[in-house]
Amino acid sequence: MPIESTAMPMPPPPPSDPDRSAARARVAAARTQHWARTQRLTAVLLGLWLATWFGTVFFARDLAHLSVFGWPLSFYLAAQGSSLIYLAVIGAYAWRMRVLDRRFARLLAEVA
Amino acid sequence: MSGANTEGKRYFRRLSRYYLWFTACLALFLVALGILEREGMPRQWIGHLYMFGTIVLYATIGVVARTSNVSEYYVAGRRVPALFNGMATAADWISAASFISLAGTLYLHGFDALAYVMGWTGGYCLVALLIAPYLRKFAQYTIPDFLAARYGGNGDGRGTTVRAMAVGATIIVSFTYVVAQIYAVGLIASRFTGVDFSVGIFLGLASILVCSFLGGMRAITWTQVAQYIIILVAFLIPTMWLSAKFAGNPVPQVAYGSVLPKLAQREAQLARDPREQQVRTAFRARADEYAARIKGLPHSWEAGKVEAQRRLDVARSRNAPLGDIRTAERALLSYPRTADEAARLWTEERAANLARAQPPEPHADPFPGKTPEESDIRRNNFLALVFCLMFGTAALPHLLMRAYTTPSVNETRVSVFWALFFILLIYLTMPALAVLAKYDIYTSLVGTDFSKLPTWVSYWANVDKANPLISIVDVNGDGIVQLAEIAIDGDVLTLATPEIGGLPYVISGLVAAGGLAAALSTADGLLLAISNALSHDIYFKIVDPGASTQKRVTISKLLLLAVAFIAAYVASQKPADILSLVGAAFSLAGSTLFPALVAGVFWKRATHQGAIAGMIGGFLVCVYYMLHTNPILGGSADAAWFHIAPISAGVFGVPAGLAVLVIASLLSPPPSNASMGLVEHIRAPE
C-alpha cells in the first residue's frame, strides 16, 4: 500500500459546507477511536509481555518441580516458552493493527 | 494503489528467486568442498576458501547494489519487503557474541544464562509495540531525526541540542559494540586460517567497507539477508546432527527435553564421585596456597622472585634439558613485576582455583544458592539483566534504523515479527546445543583415558596458544579425565560442535564462516548507524543545511571510511576493557534513548527540556552506577545497590531517565503546536 494514497489526513473537499464539517467530525472521531483502540491493544499486549517474563523468572523456583515433556517447566519457559509468547504478541499486534487500519481506511473512503 | 501492490509482489518474487538460487549455490559449494576434503585437501585450504569465498561474495553484493541516491543510501529506498527486512534485522542483531559465545555461556552458566535468551528476544515486543511503527510513519532517516523533530518545537526550533545528544548516545553505544565485532572478525580469521590477528581484522574490514561504502543501507540490507542464510545453515546443520545422534530426533528444540533428565542424573552422580572430589580438593589446596601468599605480601613476592631465579640458575648449572630451562625462564619472565601486581594476579588465581573447586551446578535448576538470600540475589540479578537487555534492545540505533526501510507502516510491524521469528530459529536452538554438548562431554569425555582423548580436544587446545580454548590436565594423576580437570572456554562450544558430533572439517569451516557473517553483518549496521549520525545529523542538519544531495552522500561515505578505520585500529589493540563493556552498551542505550523515544510517541506533554533532562539523567545514573561498582572501571562490587551487578546498571538508569523526563516536562511550558501536530501525525493510521 503506497503511503501517498492513504496517508492524507483529510479527505478531498466534498461539495457543500455542512456536509464537509459533518464528514470532518466523523473522520476526527474515527481517528480518536483508532488511537484509543491502539492504546488499549498496546496496553493489553504489554501486560501479557510483562506477566510472561516477570512471572517466569520470579516464580522460576516454584515452577521447577512441574515438568512438561521432560523439561522442568521453569527451564522450558525461560528457554523457549516466553520467547514464543513474545512472537505471538508481536504477531497479534501486527494482525490486529492491520484490521484497525483497514477499518479506518474504509471509513475515509465512505466519507469521500 | 493496486499497480504499486502488484509491482511490490513482483519485486518480492524476484528477490525470493535470487535468494533461493543463492541457497542452492551455497549447498553446491558445501558439497564440492566436502568432496575435495575427501580427496585430501588440507584443512588450512578449506579455511582459506571459506574466508575468501564469503568475503568476495559480500563485496560482490556491495558492488551490485552500489548507489549514491540519498534515499537508497540511507534507507534502502524504503522498499524492502517485510520478510527480507526481518532477515536483515536478524543478521544485524545476531552478533559475533551471540553466535560464537552464547551457546558456551549457556553451557557454563546453565539457567542463569537464559537471561540473555529471554532479554534479547523480549526487547522485540517493545520495538514492535512502542517504537518501530511510529518511526516508519515519521519516515525520515535516523533516530536523532525523530527526537529532534519531536522535541525541537521550542528553543531554536530545530532541536539542535536534542539532536546532538542523540548523536552522542548513538556513537557511544554503537562504537563499543562495533569494536567488539571487528575484534571477533580478527579472532575467527586468525583461528581458522592461521593469518595474523591484525591481518584478519583488515581483511574483514575490506569486505565491510566495499559493501557499506558503495551501497549504504541498500547494499547492507541485501548482504545481510545472504549473511543470515549462512548463519542459519552454519548453526543448524551441526546442531541437528548432534541432536539426531544423542536424542534420536533431528529437531533439537524438541529433542533435548529427553536429554535434560539424563543430564541431571549424571550431574548428581559427578557431584558425589570420589575422584571428582579428590580433584576439587586439589584445587582448594591451590587456592589456599594463593591465600597464604597474598597474606604474606610483600615478603612472599620477594621470596617467590628469588626462588624463580634460583630455579633457573640450578637448571642452567646442571645442564638440564632445554625444555626445563625454557620453562624456568618463562616462569621468571611471567612473575609479577611488583608486589601490587602480585596481589592482583594472585587474587585472580585464587578465585579461579576456588571456582574450579566447586561441584558442578545442576544445569536446569533456577538460582541455586546456599541460603535463600543468596538465591534471591541471583533471581534479582536475572530479572535486572533481562530488563536491561530488553530496554537496551528497544533503543539500539542500528536496529531501530531498520524500521525506516520498509514500504509501509504495516510492513514494518510485520517485519518485526519476521525479525523475531528468524532470531528465534537460532536462539531456541542455543539452549538445546548447550544441553546436548554438555551431555556428551559429561558422559563420553569424562571418564576416558588420557591416552585416548578425542582429536577435537587436542586440536582446539592448540589453536590459540596464548588463551587456550580448552585445557585438560590430569590433576590427580590417575590417568582418567575428571570433569573438574576440564577447563573450557565458552567460545569453543559452537566452534567445536561439528567435531564433537563427528562431522567433517567442511562443517567446522562453515561454522567459522557463520561466525564471520554474524560479526560482519552486525559491524556493517553499526558503522552505518555511526556514519549516518555524523553525516546526516551533524553535517547536514547542523553544519551545512544547504548541502546538495550528492555532497551529503559523499560526506557520509568518507565518514564511514574514517569511522571504520578508527574502529579497526582500536580493535587491533585488543582493548580488554572495551570488550568487557559491550554488555554495558545495552544499559546505556536503554537509559539514554528509550525514555525519550517512547514518551515522544505516547505522551504529548513531553517537552524539549524534559527530553534533554531525561537523556542526561538516565545517562548519568547509568554511568555513575557502572563506575561505582565495576572493578574494571575502578569501582568496587561492595558498593552495589541491592547486590545488582554493574552490567545491569540500566535497571536504575531507565526508571531514572523516565522520572527525570516526566518531572522536567511538567515543570516546563507545554510543547509547541508543531510538536503536537507531529505526534498527531505519527499516531494516525496510514
Structure pTM?
0.89
B236-240, B356-360, B512-516, B677-681: least confident range = B356-360
The reported pLDDT for the residue numbered B153 is 59
Q: How much of chain B exceeds pLDDT 90, in percent?
A: 26
Per-residue pLDDT band at B576 (split at 50, 70, 90): low
Q: CB-based contact (8 Å) between B684 and chain A?
A: yes
- By CB neighbour count within 10 A (0-12 exposed, 13-18 middle, 19+ buried), where does B449 fall? exposed
DSSP category for residue B428: T
Q: CB-based contact (8 Å) between A9 and chain B?
A: yes
Q: CB-based contact (8 Å) between A34 and chain B?
A: yes
Helix B274-295 with B252-272: angle, nearest 10 deg:
70
Contact A42 B130 (CB under 8 A): yes
Contact B125 A61 (CB under 8 A): no
Query: Rounded distance, CA B139 to CA A7, Å?
Result: 12
DSSP category for residue B606: -
Domain count, chain B: 1
DSSP category for residue B672: P
Å from A3 to nearest chain B CA?
Answer: 7
Per-residue pLDDT band at B157 (split at 50, 70, 90): low
Residue A36 confidence (pLDDT) above 80: yes
Rounded average pLDDT over B172-199: 83
Residue B230 C-beta-side C-alpha neighbours within 13 Å? 32
Rounded average pLDDT over B106-115: 90
Distances (CA, A) of B170 to B126, B592, B593: 19, 10, 9
User: How many helices (H) and strands (E) are present in chain A, helices listed first?
Assistant: 5, 2
Considering chain B, what is the average pLDDT of its residues? 86
Residue B158 confidence (pLDDT) above 80: no
What's the gap between Cα B407 and its chain centre?
29
Q: How much of chain A exceeds pLDDT 70, in percent?
A: 85
Q: How much of chain B exceeds pLDDT 70, in percent?
A: 97
To probe the interface with A, which of B114, B253, B373, B385 has the most A CB atoms within 10 Å? Answer: B114
Query: Rounded distance, CA B514 to CA B506, Å?
Result: 12
The reported pLDDT for the residue numbered A6 is 39
The reported pLDDT for the residue numbered B617 is 94
Structural domain containing residue B296: 274-356
B407 domain-assigned: no
Top-confidence residue, B406 or B541:
B406
Contact B417 A2 (CB under 8 A): no
Top-confidence residue, B436 or A16:
B436
A48-52, B36-40, B615-619: least confident range = B36-40
Å from B291 to nearest chain A CA?
Answer: 35
What's the gap between Cα B179 and its chain centre?
11
Residue A14 confidence (pLDDT) above 70: no
Contact A61 B366 (CB under 8 A): yes
Q: CB-based contact (8 Å) between A12 and chain B?
A: no
Rounded average pLDDT over B588-609: 92
The reported pLDDT for the residue numbered B655 is 95
Residues 369-398 of B with CB under 8 A from A: 375, 379, 382-383, 386, 390
Per-residue pLDDT band at B577 (split at 50, 70, 90): low
B238 domain-assigned: no
How do residues B640-681 score in pLDDT, each as one tens digit?
788 888 888 899 999 999 999 999 999 988 888 888 888 888
The reported pLDDT for the residue numbered A8 is 42
B14 domain-assigned: no
The reported pLDDT for the residue numbered A1 is 36
Rounded average pLDDT over B147-170: 80
Top-confidence residue, A39 or B42:
A39
Query: Rounded distance, CA B560 to CA B614, Å?
Result: 30
Query: Rounded distance, CA B87 to CA B220, Å?
Result: 12
Per-residue pLDDT band at B637 (split at 50, 70, 90): confident
Rounded average pLDDT over B366-395: 90
How do residues B477-497 score in pLDDT, each as one tens digit?
788 888 888 888 877 888 888
- By CB neighbour count within 10 A (0-12 exposed, 13-18 middle, 19+ buried), where does B160 fall? middle
B327 domain-assigned: yes
Q: Are B215 and B80 in contact (CB under 8 A)?
A: no
Residues 276-305 of B with CB under 8 A from A: none
Bin B289: left if φ > 0, else alpha if -120 < ψ < 50, else beta. Answer: alpha
How do residues B409-453 score in pLDDT, each as one tens digit?
999 999 999 999 999 999 999 999 899 888 888 888 888 888 888
Considering chain A, what is the average pLDDT of its residues? 83
Contact A101 B365 (CB under 8 A): no
Query: Rounded distance, CA B142 to CA B147, Å?
Result: 9
B179-183, B335-339, B417-421, B479-483: least confident range = B335-339
Rounded average pLDDT over B606-624: 92
Residues 347-366 of B with CB under 8 A from A: 364-366
B256 domain-assigned: no
Model ipTM value = 0.89
Contact A31 B129 (CB under 8 A): no
Cell numbers at residue B674, please?
A: 508543531
To probe the interface with B, which of A75, A96, A107, A108 has the most B CB atoms within 10 Å? Answer: A75
B113 domain-assigned: no
Q: Are B511 and B524 in contact (CB under 8 A)?
A: no
How do residues B306-332 score in pLDDT, each as one tens digit?
888 888 888 888 777 777 778 778 877
Closest chain B residue by Cα to residue A80: B428
Rounded average pLDDT over B27-40: 89
Q: Are B191 and B512 in contact (CB under 8 A)?
A: yes
How do residues A63-86 score in pLDDT, each as one tens digit?
888 888 778 888 899 999 999 999
The reported pLDDT for the residue numbered B483 is 86
Q: How much of chain A exceeds pLDDT 90, in percent?
A: 43
Distances (CA, A) of B90 to B23, B124, B148, B649: 17, 11, 28, 26
DSSP string, B346-372: HHHHHHHHHHHTSPPPPTT-SS--SSH
Angle at B393 between CA B392 and CA B399, to 5 degrees: 125
Q: CB-based contact (8 Å) between B133 and chain A?
A: yes
Top-confidence residue, B101 or B156:
B101
CA torsion B506-B507-B513-B519 (nearest 10°) is -160
3-state secondary structure of A72: strand
Rounded average pLDDT over A5-33: 69
Contact B413 A80 (CB under 8 A): no
B677 domain-assigned: no
The reported pLDDT for the residue numbered A39 is 94
Q: Which of A6, A58, A87 sits opposite B420 (nearest CB)?
A: A87
Query: Rounded distance, CA B579 to CA B576, Å?
Result: 5
Per-residue pLDDT band at B504 (split at 50, 70, 90): confident
To probe the interface with A, which of B9, B12, B127, B129 has the most A CB atoms within 10 Å? Answer: B129
Residue B581 confidence (pLDDT) above 90: no
B479 domain-assigned: no
Cell numbers at residue B286, please?
A: 591451590
